[in-house]
Chain A
Amino acid sequence: MAIKQVERDLTFRERIYILEILKALRLTARHLFRNLFVHIAHRFGLLRRLRGGVTYQYPEERRPFSPRLRTLHRLTRRQDGSPRCVACMMCETVCPAHCIYIVGGEHPDPQIEKYPVRFDIDLGLCVFCGYCVEACPEDAIRMDTGKLEFSSYSREGLIHDLQELLSRSTTPPKR
């Protein structure tokens, strides 16, 4: 492969460096003093609508989530409070990470064939692809809790069981 020579003609002004360095310093100094001024004004409760930085102060201040964002799973309930899940194993089958483990039991209501005795999701394996939500015919599993923190000190702590999944509620996405 031929080497392409790129000619860069520096003017004399650029060649002596010092003026270009001063230009760069002016840019960064402008950011520095503007942000310093804004932060000092914030201390006195002024100029609240101006931001001193573009970053989010994460644990206290969160970015607004996109409504499509896939967050921690939850199982939805029927009107009487029992899980909507019918243990059809669709999500377990479609899951590419094999992180869902379901044990079905016979439901007393003949209208509903089965109910989950166990429904475990191993978040240590989950890839948050959302296929389980797509596959579910009963709208029983959703990924709209808005929770993203689920770290744990042990691997067992990452396996979330039926009660834990049922206890979560949805958080409407902030706009």
Chain B
Amino acid sequence: MEYFIQFSKAFFIFNLVMGFMYILTWLERKQSALMQDRIGANRADILGFRLLGLFHPLADAIKLFTKEDFIPPGGNRLLHTLAPFVAMFFALISFAVIPFGGIYSLGGYSVSLQVLDLNVGLLFVFATMSMGIYGFVLAGWSSNNNYALLGSVRAASQMISYEITMGATIIGVLMIYETLNLQEMVLAQGETLWGWIPKWGIFLQPLGFILFATAAMAETKRVPFDIPEGESEIIGYFVEYSGMKFGMFLATDFIETVLAAALITTLFLGGWQVPFLGSDGFFFSGELWVALSSVTVMFLQVSAFLLKVSVLCVFMMLVRWTLPRFRWDHLMRLGWTIMLPLSILNILITALILLWIR
């Protein structure tokens, strides 16, 4: 039974992420179309049903699977094949520690809706994100193409620069919640400040939230920060890829978008917490409360998590289709001379306030 619960949780989160990826490829087309007063992809149909263009990702997948898989003659066969798998694996494995629901007692079992209950959950996410760089670097290096190598070098330097900002921003959050376990962090965000403001990261760390969101967007390597791709200049580390291996790099970008949204949700938007919803129902103040069964609460909290992640995904898509691309030196200047000092300032302010309170 333990194994069954564990397996079903992993099954759920894996399919959730893959579903999000599918929807995001559709959303990318449709949302950008609506933002630019267009209609968007709506031609792919099954038996005449177009369903708002939802079959386009399916058509894409079929196309990518049936295309020729080309490995450049001078390239390294093994690494060239391995790279997309490495990139995608490390993007997917990070979801193991993201809590998508609270701890519930179902049929005599205490179920924590988190695949891997790690004490160092946050560090694990950062470790996998850093390992993910290997996928991009290997892709560029094994392609035997100068542009691909340039793209992977840019990817590595960009991700390392912005990971420092991310790590420094996280310290502020850690000082407040005093844990690295993401589930405990979300549980701590269920408390309230002065009785009515939920103790979410965004209210306690507004500067940290902005910095982390920016750095997380930079980690996804999508448009305002798409220097590694730079489709108008160097195409990027996947220039020598074709077929589904190229599709896997694209999918990795979308999975990283979902991961960034899930991380921002978990750290700053209260994870699966619904304001005023405890483990046995809504509790407003004094006499005012609504009792709910455990299953209902679970349903509400998981949907709250999904809603927050979806809204953040839409927001990131909005940013992606609004802002133009940074130039390389502007990107580095933003990362090292603006965001890093600000994040250190954030640590200092948080420390001073915590000292003053205690």
A30 to chain B, nearest CB (A): 9
B319 interfacial by beta-carbon distance below 8 Å? yes
Do residues B34 and A36 form an inter-chain contact, with CB atoms below 8 A? Answer: yes
Count of chain A residues with a beta carbon within 8 Å of a chain B beta carbon: 17
Which A52-90 residues sit within 8 Å CB-CB of chain B? 52-55, 57
Do residues B323 and A53 form an inter-chain contact, with CB atoms below 8 A? Answer: no
Partner of B39, one of A24, A27, A55: A55
Partner of A25, one of B31, B33, B210, B318: B318
What residues of B have a CB within 8 angstroms of the CB of A28 in the complex? 35, 318, 321-322
Do residues A31 and B36 form an inter-chain contact, with CB atoms below 8 A? Answer: yes
B38 interfacial by beta-carbon distance below 8 Å? yes
Do residues A55 and B323 form an inter-chain contact, with CB atoms below 8 A? Answer: no
Q: Kindly state the separation between the CA atoms of A39 and B31 in the bound complex, as whole angstroms.
A: 12
A interface footprint on B290-324 (CB within 8 Å = 1, 0 otherwise): 00000000000000000000000000001101110
CB < 8 Å A-B pair total: 43
Partner of A32, one of B39, B318, B319: B318
A18 interfacial by beta-carbon distance below 8 Å? yes
Nearest residue (CB) in B for A43 is B52
Do residues B34 and A25 form an inter-chain contact, with CB atoms below 8 A? Answer: no
What residues of A have a CB within 8 angstroms of the CB of B318 in the complex? 25, 28-29, 32
What residues of A have a CB within 8 angstroms of the CB of B34 in the complex? 31-32, 35-36, 39, 52-53
B97 to chain A, nearest CB (A): 30
B224 to chain A, nearest CB (A): 9
A127 interfacial by beta-carbon distance below 8 Å? no
B interface footprint on A1-41 (CB within 8 Å = 1, 0 otherwise): 00000000000000000100100110111011001100100
Q: Kindly state the separation between the CA atoms of A134 and B57 in the bound complex, as whole angstroms.
A: 50
Q: Kindly state the separation between the CA atoms of A31 and B33 in the bound complex, as whole angstroms.
A: 10
B165 to chain A, nearest CB (A): 15
Q: Kindly state the separation between the CA atoms of A25 and B322 in the bound complex, as whole angstroms.
A: 6
Do residues B31 and A52 form an inter-chain contact, with CB atoms below 8 A? Answer: no
Do residues A32 and B38 form an inter-chain contact, with CB atoms below 8 A? Answer: no
Q: Kindly state the separation between the CA atoms of A143 and B33 in the bound complex, as whole angstroms.
A: 35
A48 to chain B, nearest CB (A): 16
Do residues A55 and B321 form an inter-chain contact, with CB atoms below 8 A? Answer: no
Q: Kindly state the separation between the CA atoms of A139 and B36 in the bound complex, as whole angstroms.
A: 45
What residues of A have a CB within 8 angstroms of the CB of B39 in the complex? 52-53, 55, 57
Do residues B31 and A18 form an inter-chain contact, with CB atoms below 8 A? Answer: no
Which B151-171 residues sit within 8 Å CB-CB of chain A? none
What residues of A have a CB within 8 angstroms of the CB of B319 in the complex? 21, 25
B2 interfacial by beta-carbon distance below 8 Å? no
Q: Which 7 pairs from chain A and chain B are nearest by CB?
A: A35-B34, A28-B322, A54-B37, A32-B35, A53-B39, A28-B35, A53-B38
List 23 contacting pairs A-B, 8 Å CB cutoff, sorted by A: A21-B322, A21-B323, A24-B323, A25-B318, A25-B319, A31-B34, A31-B35, A31-B36, A31-B37, A32-B34, A32-B35, A32-B318, A35-B35, A35-B37, A36-B34, A52-B34, A53-B33, A53-B34, A53-B37, A53-B38, A53-B39, A55-B38, A55-B39
